[in-house]
Structure 1
Amino acid sequence: MSNQAKPNTLVPLPANLQTLYEREAFIIRRKWFSVAAVFLLFFGLIWNGFMVVWMTTALKNGAWAIAAFGSIHAGVGVFLAYFCAASFLNTTEIQVDPNYLRVEHSPVPWPGKKKIRVHTIQQLYSKKHVKHTKNGTNTSYRVFAVTDDNREHKLVTGLSEISQAHFIEHEIENVLGLEDLPVSGEHPKT
């Protein structure tokens, strides 16, 4: 980690991101909450309310086949509630210290925890992720690290704005003293 590294003042701090230094670590925190989480909460309440009525009625009347069919939808409801809790409560913390780059999501446990030795990191880059569904197209952005063994490590996903991805990329490169080199497939910088 470069001793002279300071946060990149040329890239403005995007919404939902916070930076700080704590002991020997540079930290970027990203809150997951968005307006979409409020919609998700209402949808989840309606979905799960319907499933409670469905399952109660089916079990009370001994309609085991209907209850079994409903259990699939109830499982979706449980995941929806868990995802909604994460959307309201979670923060992603990216921590860079002299030894490691760490990525953690909390307080609701979520996949994607990373721990990479900083001396192995060769480059960071941002990438656009487009997902096509029957309801339209969903675009988000991701940040990757490339290590000296040419492996790509997905650090952060689900960023709503490219400015968030570019900020994270630039700040970590700055702290690690890495030159911003082009990577095949990265989202162009504007």
Structure 2
Amino acid sequence: MNSSSKIQIEKSDSRLKITFKWFQPHAFFLVFFCIAWNSFLINWYSSDGDLISYLFPLGHVAAGVSLSYYTLCIFINKTIITIDNEKLKVKHFPLPWKGQTTVEKKDIEQLFVREKIKHNDDSKNTTYPLYAKLSSGSTVKLISGSVIQNVDQAQELERKIEAFLNIEDYAVPGEFAAELKPKIEELKRNLHPKINPTAISLSDLQDNFVFNFGLASWLVSYTIQYDWVNGSSDKLLQIVNDLGENKLLYVQLQMAVITPWIEVKMDHYQFPDFDRSTMSTTPDRIPSENEEYFISQKYEGKLFHKNQKEGHSVRQHLYLNKARTESIRVVWLSDENYNIYKGVKKETREFDQLLHPTK
């Protein structure tokens, strides 16, 4: 275990646990304020009065109860963030508090901090909540600013979680201090990933590697790599077998989970909905051959052909049918330039004798 700025960390290869207390020195001021506020209300209700005089301060009573409860939470509550192989969970205890959050680990693309300023008469209150940007394009508040002590603590939580999830940091629109971070287009490609020759997987496939699939031997003849800003990399492989048959194999890698898809490149006219779309205005569902496909994930990153170092900025929208066994993948290089692929999900066990590179 190690700790920094009152954050306690327990870490293993597959699990991260972060614990921090809510206590802040201003809690003592809140104690005296609550005593004065509630004493006034007790005195008010102790005196004789008509119905209106009893109903009028009810809003003040609610405020006094809420502030007293929050003050008690500051003294005794803790927040625990746990990340395992599947989920990120946020829990506040021992007193109940809103914001108990659970997010699928594979859906997390980026973490970021926002600055929230609330003006009260002549004063202002500034807080720094922590958010997660998901691969679907939506955002989720992980921890509210009322729980996090200051911006340093918020940013430390962001760094610790991103480091554990192996997420490459970049600037998110609306993020606090975004000017200090690289932009999406500035992210660099790793051209020389390490491959363990004794434990090669589908995600390691590249040009001139061979493998068995469907009672045939296949050669990877061409590779396109997608490096997403959430730190994961997918590949589109053109493969050819001994009989000269060609297929497209899309290897999706999300948080160490590999999903292979056999795809077919589609003509644009087969999907007229996209003729009226742009990268930022795509439909939430697509009909195709008596089946409906619903948006599942949205990605941003770069597309690389072979050994390109810079690549092209790209966005991808992935649609799945209800059974999640078929996909429609739309890859946007620009509003006018996009490709559509239709895929069928396969199991990794259908691929064997992987990665025997030819010389």
TM-score (norm 2): 0.46
Residues 62/162 of structure 1: CA separation in 2 closer, same or farther (3 Å cut): closer
Superposed CA deviations along residues 119-163 of structure 1, whole A, max 9, x for unmatched, are 111111122222222132222212111111011111112233222
Distance across 1 between alignment mates of 2:157 and 2:90: 12
What is the aligned partner in structure 2 of residue 46 from structure 1?
A: 36
Shift in Å, 1:186:
1.5
In 2, are the aligned partners of 1:55 and 1:70 still within 8 Å (CA)? no
Shift in Å, 1:49:
1.4
What is the aligned partner in structure 1 of residue 4 from structure 2?
A: 13
What is the aligned partner in structure 2 of residue 99 from structure 1?
A: 86
The higher radius of gyration belongs to 2
Shift in Å, 1:32:
1.1
Q: Please, which moves more after superposition, 17-26 or 107-116?
A: 17-26
In 1, are the aligned partners of 2:76 and 2:94 still within 8 Å (CA)? yes
What is the aligned partner in structure 1 of residue 159 from structure 2?
A: 170
In 1, are the aligned partners of 2:115 and 2:176 still within 8 Å (CA)? yes
Q: Please, which moves more after superposition, 142-151 or 68-77?
A: 68-77
- Which consecutive residues of structure 2, in runs of 5 or more, have no partner in the other structure? 182-359
Query: 2:119 is matched by which residue type in structure 1?
Result: H
Distance across 2 between alignment mates of 1:153 and 1:99: 17
Q: Does 1:55 align with 2:55?
A: no
Match of 2:70 among 83, 91, 112: 83
* Higher relative contact order, structure no. (Cα contacts within 8 Å, ≥ 6 residues apart): 1
The structure with the greater share of residues assigned to helix is 1
Superposed CA deviations along residues 73-111 of structure 1, whole A, max 9, x for unmatched, are 222221122111112111111111111001111111111
In 2, are the aligned partners of 1:146 and 1:152 still within 8 Å (CA)? yes
Aligned length: 177
Match of 1:49, SS state, is: helix
Match of 1:94, SS state, is: strand
Q: What does 1:1-190 align with in structure 2 at a 5 Å threshold?
A: 13-14=4-5, 16-21=6-11, 24-57=14-47, 61-158=48-145, 159-188=148-177, 189=180
In 2, are the aligned partners of 1:123 and 1:145 still within 8 Å (CA)? yes
Shift in Å, 1:30:
2.1
Distance across 2 between alignment mates of 1:72 and 1:156: 27
Q: Please, which moves more after superposition, 156-165 or 141-150?
A: 156-165
RMSD: 2.3
The structure with the greater share of residues assigned to strand is 2
